Amino acid sequence: MAAHLLYQNSVAYTIPFKYSSPATAKSTRSGFRVCMRDRSNNRKPLQKGRHLSIEAIQAVHSLKRAFRRSECDAGEESDQSTFQQVYDSKFKRLLRLDMIAVLRELLRQNQCHLALKVFEDIRRESWYKPAILLYSEMFSVFSRNGLFEHVNLLYNYLREEDNLKPDLEKFNTLLRTLVSSGLAEKAVGCYQLMNKIECDADRETYRILINGLGEFAQEATFAGIKEDAVKCYGNLDFLLEHEEIREPIAKHKLVSGWNSV
């Protein structure tokens, strides 16, 4: 009978065969000892903020479970207090990057109500700094799920931020998200916010707004944007550059966006 030997980082079996690959076997008196390494030793460590840590995974599962229970019994104070207890014990004790990872995972799973609550708590943290790309991601998820009340609240939060960095590339990404989501006036408002924090628009900014909004860019609300573009570049010929023209927003999409202002 083959002997069973255990090692710290490998598992060895002694088998009575006379042949085995030289790379994986060592000769013994009774046969060959084949060593198989534990594959778990090859796993890469979790990177907090990029991949979910064990604590973040547990927090996501616990929050979803407690939230579903509180929704089923919305009128009972005990379930609401239970959810808050779970929230405090599972989320508020997390590290900064784990909090952000939980928020992104909730957004990925379209858990919009939980994601908004998590974001509101993150904004209260002393280390919080506004991230335009995170705002863009939330706008996309909330509008895709038809939660325009959440969109309104998020837009107000963005306008209240007092330490936004004038990062043109990130603001262009945000504008592209708002335009593609049918949030026309929100896009115009963000353009005005860019001017407020001295984030100068470029050709891509005007292409996103004017080409993306299509016929609605002719409205009085958007006339100022076209005037600014002409002042900066002399004309609007640059709108046709690089073939980056996007399809105009459908009218039924704009209706929902305009109602959400």
Model pLDDT for residues 187-240, shown as the tens digit of each residue = 999 999 999 999 999 999 999 998 888 766 556 667 888 899 999 999 888 888
For residue 222, how many C-alpha atoms fall within 13 Å in the half-sphere facing its CB? 21
Classify residue 249 as exposed, middle or buried by CB count within 10 Å of its CB (0-12, 13-18, 19+).
buried
Q: DSSP assignment, residue 29?
A: S
* Total count of residues recorded for the chain: 261
Q: Do residues 26 and 76 share a domain?
A: no
**pLDDT on residue 76:** 60
Q: Which residues, in sequence order, are CB contacts of 133 under 8 Å at separation 6+? A: 170, 173, 174
Is 205 within the bounds of a domain? yes
Distance CA 122, CA 130 (A): 10
Domain match, 206 and 246 both: yes
Do 261 and 148 fall within a single domain? yes
- Evaluated on CA atoms 200, 206, 207, 209, the torsion sign reads positive
The domain of 248 spans 144-261
User: Which residue's structure tokens are 């944007």?
Assistant: 225
Decide: 56 and 101 in contact? Cβ < 8 Å: yes
Specify whether 122 is located in the same domain as 216.
no
What's the confidence (pLDDT) of residue 132?
97
Please name every residue paired with 32 in a beta bridge, in sequence order, or none if there are none: 15, 27
Residues 113 and 76 occupy one common structural domain: yes
Answer yes or no: do 191 and 233 share one domain.
Answer: yes
pLDDT value at position 44? 44
CA dihedral 9, 15, 18, 21 (to 10 degrees): -30
* Count of other CB atoms within 10 angstroms of residue 234: 9
> Locate tokens 């009978």: which residue?
1
In a domain, 255, yes or no: yes
pLDDT of residue 242: 61
Identify whether residues 35 and 70 lie together within a single domain: no
Residues of the chain with pLDDT under 70: 1-50, 73-79, 215-221, 242-261
Structure tokens belonging to residue 191: 């353009």
pLDDT at res. 9: 45
Distance between CA atoms of residues 99 and 93, nearest Å: 9
